[in-house]
Amino acid sequence: MIRVEGIVKRFGAVTALQDVSFTAADGRITGLLGHNGAGKSTALRVLSTVLRPDAGRAQVDGHDCVTEPLAVRRSLGVLPHASGLYANLTGRENILYYGRLHGLAGAALQRATDELIERLELGAVAGRRAKGYSQGERLKVALARALIHRPQTLILDEPTSGLDVTAVRMLRDLLRELRALGRCVLFSSHVMQEVAALCDDIVIIAAGKVVLRGTPRQILEQTGTSDLEEAFVRASARVAPTQGAPA
């Protein structure tokens, strides 16, 4: 469960987020949709406690991102924009390292790692060093790493960019599976089809503001179109993109 209320984040003179509020519920997949530089990554970074908001409140599973960052990180799995794997460690070692830093150890850690390697069909590559991985293999290991502690909430930053069709399907199946388990999934994208194919709820963000949010059906109704892509373009255009923000 993610609850964001009136978040503001400035980098020097640039305001990346101004008064952003939305929620992402358990058992649902929520898409954070916006153009490049709209503030998606900044919002996710505030949630993952890497950035502190200048104003407003962000909560993950009832824990405040500013006052209880460790509790937030414990219930959060994060898939960053760059996979950030360690090239000289094997896939398995990458997963184990994150497991250990989450406080797992011994047989429990090995079991959790084996399960994820099996579920993500990483058996053939888990023993190889990450430097030779394909884009899809990197994503799978990064996903396994983010899920090693069975987080209640998972946030993913542009997870599908640069992936082939098979990898995208694998990812969708996995996210639906997590939804069925009652987890909260929030992912960002700048591709409307991507969000439409998967999401129960959509939050459209433009120039650091939430311009529209709701189920796909509600969004179509609010913009008066029958096409989600058209709805996205119209909603984004409501806010003149006068201010850029770092991606």
Residue 37 C-beta: closest distance to other proteins, Å = 17
Q: Could you tell me if 201 and 218 are in contact, meaning their C-beta atoms sit under 8 angstroms apart?
A: no
- Rg value, the chain, Cα: 18
Smaller CB separation from other proteins, 40 or 213: 40
> Please, is 54 exposed, middle or buried when counting C-beta atoms within 10 Å of its C-beta (0-12, 13-18, 19+)?
middle
Taking residues 187 to 226 in sequence order and writing x for each that binds other proteins by CB under 8 A, - otherwise, the string is ----------------------------------------
Smaller CB separation from other proteins, 117 or 146: 146
Amino acid 150 reads R
Taking residues 99 to 138 in sequence order and writing x for each that binds other proteins by CB under 8 A, - otherwise, the string is -xxxx-x-----------------------x---------
80 part of the interface to other proteins, by CB under 8 A: yes
Strands, E, within the chain: which ranges? 2-11, 14-24, 28-33, 55-60, 63-64, 76-79, 153-157, 184-189, 201-206, 209-214
- Structure-token match 């497991």, residue found: 99
Answer for which of 61, 97, 222, 244 binds other proteins (CB under 8 A) is 97
Residue 87 C-beta: closest distance to other proteins, Å = 7
Residue 69 C-beta: closest distance to other proteins, Å = 8
Answer for which of 26, 54, 61, 93 binds other proteins (CB under 8 A) is 93
Instruction: Name the 3-class secondary structure at 168.
Output: helix
Nearby residues of 109 by Cβ (< 8 Å), 6 or more positions away: 96, 99, 100
Taking residues 170 to 189 in sequence order and writing x for each that binds other proteins by CB under 8 A, - otherwise, the string is --------------------
Smaller CB separation from other proteins, 87 or 197: 87
Q: Could you tell me if 93 and 148 are in contact, meaning their C-beta atoms sit under 8 angstroms apart?
A: no
